[in-house]
A and B are shown apart, each in its own frame.
Chain A
Amino acid sequence: MILIASLHSNIARSADYESLEIKVKAAYLYNFLRFVDWPEEHPTHANICVYGINENYRSAFSSMATLSKKSQRITINMFPEDDDITKLSACQIIFITDSATHKSKAIFEQIKDHQSLTVGESDSFISNGGMVNFVRIKDKIRFEINHDVAKAAGLKISSKVLRIAERVINSEDT
């Protein structure tokens, strides 16, 4: 996770700003693999699927594509926003980029029988049935979580992550 550490610095408003932000999000996606339990036991191979990819994302994820954890082989699967959503059936994490947000509901519908953590980056993502949503607060990338949806999908999100989320939708808590 040296990579992550290298990303930890103020995300300045610079030319590289968007690129850096995407890199951080990419790193966070990896991190979610640590804090979410999927019902299958110890999958030796994890798929992170990015839907609605553009050039920035492609370069950011490409640089990490080959990275894998020692115990887990991680594959980054990138899909353009017009790609067939049925390809998303075998993903542990599905990241729906801002540009593909309009297809969220279709995707949720598509994967409802699969235990996939859905991550987005648009304002109403979790209220529309998404599980995790990146938000930018004071130059920092934070996230919000709809725990209800995750639980319904059979995913266990670590309390450590819930703890640092900006917002958690959790009907049990309310």
Chain B
Amino acid sequence: MNFSPDKHQFSIRSKLAFVIITIITITLLLAASLFTLSQLHENKLNLIDHLTTLAKITGDNAEAAILFDNSNDADKILSELKNDPHIITAAIYIHKKNLFASYMSKQNFPPVFEPPEIEGYIIESNKIHLLQNIYTDNGLDKIGEIYLQASLSPLYIQLQKNIFITGIIVLFSLLIGYFLSFRLQKTISFPILELSDATKIIKNEKDYSIRIHRNDYQEIETLCDGFNGMLQEIQQRDEHLQQLASYDPLTGLANRKYFSDMLHQAIIRGKRKSHKHAILFIDLDRFKHINDSLGHSIGDELLVQVAKRFDLIIRGDDTVARFGGDEFTVLLQEINDESSATEVAERILEIMNEPFKLNSHNVVVSPSIGIVMYPEHGKTAEQLISNADTAMYKSKHAGGNNFWFFTEHMNKAAQKRLKLEESLRKAIHRDEIILHYQPQLCLKTNEIVGVEALVRWNKNNKKLVPPNNFLPLADETGLIIPIGNIIYKKALNTLKELQKENLYQNKIAINMSAKQFRSIVSIEQMLLFIEQLKIDCNLVEIEITEEALIDYNDELISTMHTLKKQGIHLSIDDFGTGYSSLSYLKLFPFDILKIDMSFIKDMQEDEKNQDIVRAIIDMSHHLGLEVVAEGVETELQKQLLTEMGCDIIQGYYFCKPLDEKHFKQFLLQRATEQKQINKYQA
């Protein structure tokens, strides 16, 4: 009998027990009462029977005494009734109510004789009066009457005893019933309690795989089935949700969350058993270009095929996940050393070598892989993934299609990068991005025909950071767009200012990043800005690097034509550093070609380099392009270029990049000199 403080248990158990006990009590009391009453009635009848028999025997015994007129003996015979507890008084009458003999019990003094008028009995509340005829032995002659007065007290005393005993039995039965009820009610309440307990466990543990045992009660069976049915649906839904939550719907690989969980578990296991694990962080080189040029559906298809290839080379214990975008991660569990990770990385490079067939395109995509080892390169999943990411960046910066193991040094570099990114963001708001200007000299006329706006980072207004130290980062982080906007706005503002001050009337060349150039918004903003400043489009030149043309598409070409139609000049910058595809020159509507300074620099040392420069210049002229040589530093270089027919030079030989103030001074001085020359010539 376990009264749990739990409300539910208390309620159902004790209610059932209460019902059972109530039924037992009512039944027992009713039965006991009926039994007692019927017993009383029976006992009265028995007593009457007894008295009748007693009267008959006593009468018979007294026959001789009556017939021989011996009342003493009759008295004696009657006095034998003293052994019967019921008899109060007894009397024998002869000859019509003449008292012949009598007897009285001790406690009944004086005796009261109240015989009935005729043979028979009268029952009073506490007495029975019985009158019976006495016949001769042969039964033929009536010789007298015997009267017995019996007390019901012994009967009532007996009844009291019986009631007492019955009471004890009832109490005992109740006690047994009470105990039994708690056992019996279990058969009913147990399945309900089980149901309730299961509900509690499921609620607490969220374990929907639990099922409830069915039992023989029809209603509860239905309830159990219904309950189990619901549980099954919840479980299935849970599993479905788990699937959705753990796997990438596109590739079917594990997702970032699932991978992190697996890594976390592997770390816990690794701690216990001192296992080594490796994490490979894989990023597809130039995936964005593929996505942009071939469309997202092709990009998605590529990811699916890449995932399939990865899946082929992975052991059962290992996990491949699509970490996000074109990033994949691989967890190699319980490996011996780095060589296992190296093997897998090499295998990945190998399988990625094969071109992917996407619709009609054959696409080659290379991976950059960063590898970390647990526990050497990190203690937590977050740290490991972050370091693998860093190693992957290193791999990417090293040209991609390779793998790098993480080193602490990378981490420092990465931190430095992060810091740089933060200060670059601040730089934009603090107006630390400034422009320097480098004039371009026409070799034929010896006049300044152009100026290139060159970006500088005036970091904390203390030192100038050259563009190579921050532009790649800006490109990666997307900061290149706001920086680009600053560059062309500042450049155009300066041009307008110089025009107003009548210092300069020629064109200005502005560098534009690939990202900016691909952004329609940027192009439209630029054209709008030119319009607002009322600048002639002929005075604007946009320089685009060779690299920006890789993964070109129709859209890019049409953008260039749009600009060209407006009169804007287009130049190909740093020619000779990238793929230097000649087909580009034919395909894009360039006006100007800028030979990279590395060729100019090498020209003095090697005749072959001179030949290359000459060839570029000749080819450009054939294609109708004007040629600008960058990085011209010496007189010799200038002479060589002049010989080769180069149109324009730019470099320290003539003038280094100057800030706005010095550029204006340079222009003023130049103008003054020109006047003197003109004057002299004149």
Contact = CB atoms under 8 A, between A and B. Distances in A.
Interface residues of B, number: 18
Interface stretch (B134-142, B303-311, B434-442): B134-142
Interface string A3-46: 01111100000000000000010001001001100000000000
A160 B94 contact: no
Interface string B554-583: 000000000000000000000000000000
A1 B141 contact: yes
B136 A1 contact: yes
Contacts of A28: 67-68
B63 A142 contact: no
A1 B68 CA distance: 11
B510 interface: no
B335 interface: no
A34 B68 contact: no
Interface in B52-91: 60-61, 63-65, 67-70, 73
Nearest to A140: B69
Contact of B138 (A8, A71, A143): A71
Contacts of B143: 1, 4-5
Nearest to A24: B69
B315 interface: no
A136 interface: no
B95 interface: yes
Contact of A34 (B94, B95, B136): B136
Contacts of A5: 94-95, 143
A31 to B, nearest CB: 5
B120 to A, nearest CB: 23
A142 B140 contact: no
Contacts of A7: 69
Given A24-B69, A34-B137, A70-B140, A8 B95 contact: yes
Contacts of B138: 34, 71
A155 B120 CA distance: 38
B67 A31 contact: yes
A21 to B, nearest CB: 12
A4 B67 contact: yes
A63 to B, nearest CB: 18
Interface in A147-174: 158, 160-161, 163-164
B84 to A, nearest CB: 20
Interface string A44-71: 0000000000000000000000000111
Given A1-B67, A8-B95, A28-B68, A164 B140 contact: no
A112 to B, nearest CB: 27
A161 B60 CA distance: 12
Given A5-B95, A140-B69, A164 B136 contact: no
Contact of B69 (A8, A34, A161, A163): A8
Interface in B170-225: none
Contact of A71 (B69, B70, B140): B140
Contacts of B141: 1
Contact of A31 (B68, B94, B95, B140): B68
A5 B66 CA distance: 9
A142 B69 CA distance: 9
Given A34-B137, A34-B138, A164 B65 contact: yes
A142 B70 contact: yes
Contacts of B63: 160
A112 B65 CA distance: 30
B91 to A, nearest CB: 16
Nearest to B140: A70
Nearest to B137: A34
Contact of B94 (A8, A142, A161): A8
B144 to A, nearest CB: 8
Contacts of A35: 64, 137
Contacts of B65: 160, 163-164
A138 to B, nearest CB: 10
B61 A160 contact: yes
B503 to A, nearest CB: 175
Interface string B91-110: 00011000000000000000
A164 B68 contact: yes
A65 B141 CA distance: 19
B61 A164 contact: no
Contacts of B95: 5-6, 8
Interface centre among A6, A71, A163 (most CB of B within 10 A): A163
B73 to A, nearest CB: 4
A71 B143 CA distance: 17
Contacts of A4: 67, 69, 143
Interface in B135-157: 136-138, 140-141, 143
Nearest to A8: B69
Interface centre among A70, A160, A164 (most CB of B within 10 A): A164
A35 B137 CA distance: 9
Nearest to B96: A5
Contacts of A163: 64-65, 73
Contacts of B140: 69-71
Contacts of A161: 64, 68
Interface in B208-262: none
Contacts of B60: 160
Interface centre among B67, B138, B141 (most CB of A within 10 A): B67
B64 to A, nearest CB: 4
Contacts of A69: 140
Nearest to A11: B69
Contact of B64 (A6, A141, A164): A164
24 contacts: A1-B67, A4-B67, A4-B143, A5-B143, A8-B69, A8-B94, A8-B95, A24-B69, A31-B67, A31-B68, A34-B136, A35-B137, A70-B140, A71-B138, A71-B140, A140-B69, A142-B70, A158-B137, A160-B60, A160-B61, A160-B65, A163-B65, A164-B68, A164-B70
Given A31-B64, A160-B60, A160-B64, 16 more contacts: A4-B67, A4-B69, A4-B143, A5-B143, A28-B68, A31-B67, A71-B140, A140-B69, A142-B68, A143-B68, A158-B137, A160-B63, A163-B65, A164-B65, A164-B68, A164-B73
